[in-house]
Amino acid sequence: MHIGRKIKKFRDENKLSQKEFAEKIGVTQGFLSHLENGRLDIESPSLEKKILIAIGEENKTDEITDDKKVEIPHNDNVHSPKHYMIPGCNFESIDIIRQRLGDVGFMFFLEGNVSKYLIRAEKKNGKEDYEKAKKYLSWLVDMKKVIPQELAFNSKEKIAEGCGTDWLNIIGGISIDMKTKKALILNEVFNQLYSANYGKASELIDALLKE
């Protein structure tokens, strides 16, 4: 059973409103509504665990559905970084950030992190940073279902102007040691990211990693 249906069943049995249960697990009512009707899947293992504990299924915290288990590597710095977990709590730092910023602010935060990992990947952690960028993109895909309207992000040209340069100079610096084809793909990743085409941006990262 999809976790959204489990939540709905639990709420009905315990006569809890969506608002009450959303507050209980620390999400917005809109997010919970999308989760219950199957329009969203849970990307955060810590949130999944919190929900399963709330509905009395804490012994199934390694499941997303009854027939599908997700195995998390012991040291998974992309999907379950231990250094962000808070001892004694069933959540991690990103859950605090989301509650502080709200849904709109959280989307700005997510986009900023995608840019950060794309910019530093070739100079720092390589594939791991690209995978981290994809992780934040997957959250952005989910958040667009909650907040479908376009947010007031600046264009590449505005970004460059604010930095006192032009975009060609920026992308040239980011991709300075990359092969031409890989650099062109990375530039297109930024094009899709800054056009809010998050799914396409993630697909292009996969293509980039094959080069």
DSSP 136-186: HHHHHHHHHHHS-SPP-PPPHHHHHHHTTS-HHHHHHHHTTTS-HHHHHHH
Q: Which domains does the chain possess?
A: 3-69 (1.10.260.40), 99-209 (no CATH)
Residue 81 confidence (pLDDT): 58
Residue 60 confidence (pLDDT): 52
pLDDT tens for each residue of the chain, 211 residues long: 678 889 989 999 999 998 889 888 877 777 788 788 877 677 667 778 888 899 987 665 444 444 444 443 444 555 555 666 667 776 778 888 888 998 899 999 999 999 999 999 888 888 888 999 999 999 999 888 888 777 888 999 999 999 999 999 999 999 998 899 999 999 999 999 999 999 999 999 999 999 8
Q: pTM higher than 0.75 for the full model? A: no
Cβ-proximal residues to 129 (8 Å cutoff; 6+ apart), any chain: 117, 118, 120, 121
Residue 126 confidence (pLDDT): 86
